[in-house]
Amino acid sequence: MHAQDIFAGGKTTFSFEFFPPKSEDAGHTLFENIAQLQTLKPTFVSVTYGAGGTTRKVTQDLVLRLKDETTLDPMPHLTCVSQRLSELDELLERYASVGISNILALRGDPPRDRPDHRFEDDDLKRAAELVAHIKRFNDRGFHPDKRGFGISVAGFPEGHPATPNRLEEIEHLRAKVDAGADSIVTQLFFDNRDFYDFRDRCRLAGIKVPIVAGVMPITTLGGMKRMADLASGARFPAPLLRAVNRTDGSSESVGRVGVHWATEQCRDLLDHAVDGIHFYTLNRSNATREVYATLGVKDSTALAETL
């Protein structure tokens, strides 16, 4: 469903992020988890695109398989780092031809082995340019929906590390919306006050599109450390760290703390009538299912109706 229709109802959306599996076994496990997550009836699911386009083919395969074999509505991530316009168009055409409704348009980060990547050499240098490019693609009328793809972009409640000037950063975010983005999905955060302040700053800057809050239940110590690296800039509040430190460090006890924290975040986000909650699932279903269970609801429909 096109982003404009998804958010038109004014109900909180619930969505899940997956990344393309790295092996056949991981693919089987992912689809076992997806079967369970499907019962939670998410509004849409998103599929990441590896740094520098490294998962181009596997991202596409997973998106098409989700579209073919499940009832889920997949939203592919698309990044423009190191991607030629022809490569981007090829993907857009493929996605349009199978009726994919929305794209999460990102600049992306270069692969780790190319830290000196020069963005200015890319065909499209930043996400705002990719949004404008997708809009031009939409105007070609290739997509079965005459509006073309709905477009989401990334937002960073605690700020994007490359732009320490927060006033400038919000202007850059507004440029993506002005270029045609229909909604914003945020980086994960652990303190809702950061999100509410970000939402207020967006509104003050004239950014009126729906803003979906990124939530990641911590499941293991290792996962938490990896996330601190991947979602650079994300702040781990002292009360969360204290709660983690009180555990014996096992996945079971750290997972309980993580689910409890994420559940409280979600309860509070729902009380503040957020436009949407996006779960970073790390391709596992347990933590997300436990959050729903602890909120006392069967699926996303029930959550949206509690507003």
Ligand X SMILES: Cc1cc2nc3c(=O)[nH]c(=O)nc-3n(C[C@H](O)[C@H](O)[C@H](O)COP(=O)(O)OP(=O)(O)OC[C@H]3O[C@@H](n4cnc5c(N)ncnc54)[C@H](O)[C@@H]3O)c2cc1C
Residues annotated catalytic, as ranges: 17
- Residue 97, both tokens: 């031809």
From first CA to last CA, the distance across the chain in angstroms is 22
Residue 52 CB, nearest distance to ligand X (Å)? 7
**Cα(35)–Cα(38) distance, integer angstroms:** 5
Is there a contact between 191 and 237 (Cβ–Cβ < 8 Å)? Answer: yes
**Cα(86)–Cα(123) distance, integer angstroms:** 10
- Give the H/E segment covering residue 227: helix 221-230
Decide whether 158 or 290 has the Cβ nearer to ligand X: 158
Q: In sequence order, what DSSP letters do the residues of 107-159 get, joined into one string?
A: -----TT-TT--GGGSSS-SHHHHHHHHHHHHHTT-SSSTT--EEEEEE-TT-
Decide whether 254 or 269 has the Cβ nearer to ligand X: 269
CB-based contacts of 186, cutoff 8 Å, min separation 6: 154, 155, 156, 157, 195, 198, 211, 212, 213, 214, 278
- Residue 149, both tokens: 């793809």
Decide whether 129 or 290 has the Cβ nearer to ligand X: 129
Residue 198 CB, nearest distance to ligand X (Å)? 12
Say what the alpha-carbon torsion angle 282, 285, 287, 292 is, to the nearest 10 degrees. Answer: 130
Decide whether 103 or 291 has the Cβ nearer to ligand X: 103
Residue 242 CB, nearest distance to ligand X (Å)? 27
- Using CB atoms within 10 Å of the CB of residue 15, give its burial: 0 to 12 exposed, 13 to 18 middle, 19+ buried: buried
Residue 250 CB, nearest distance to ligand X (Å)? 30
- Residue 159, both tokens: 């700020």
Residue 5 CB, nearest distance to ligand X (Å)? 21
Residue 279 CB, nearest distance to ligand X (Å)? 12
CB-based contacts of 213, cutoff 8 Å, min separation 6: 186, 189, 192, 195, 269, 274, 276, 277, 278
Q: Where on the chain is the footprint of ligand X (CB under 6 A)?
A: 48-49, 51, 77, 79, 106-109, 126-128, 154, 160, 162-163, 169, 172, 176, 185, 187, 214
Decide whether 72 or 257 has the Cβ nearer to ligand X: 72
Decide whether 56 or 143 has the Cβ nearer to ligand X: 56
**Cα(75)–Cα(7) distance, integer angstroms:** 15
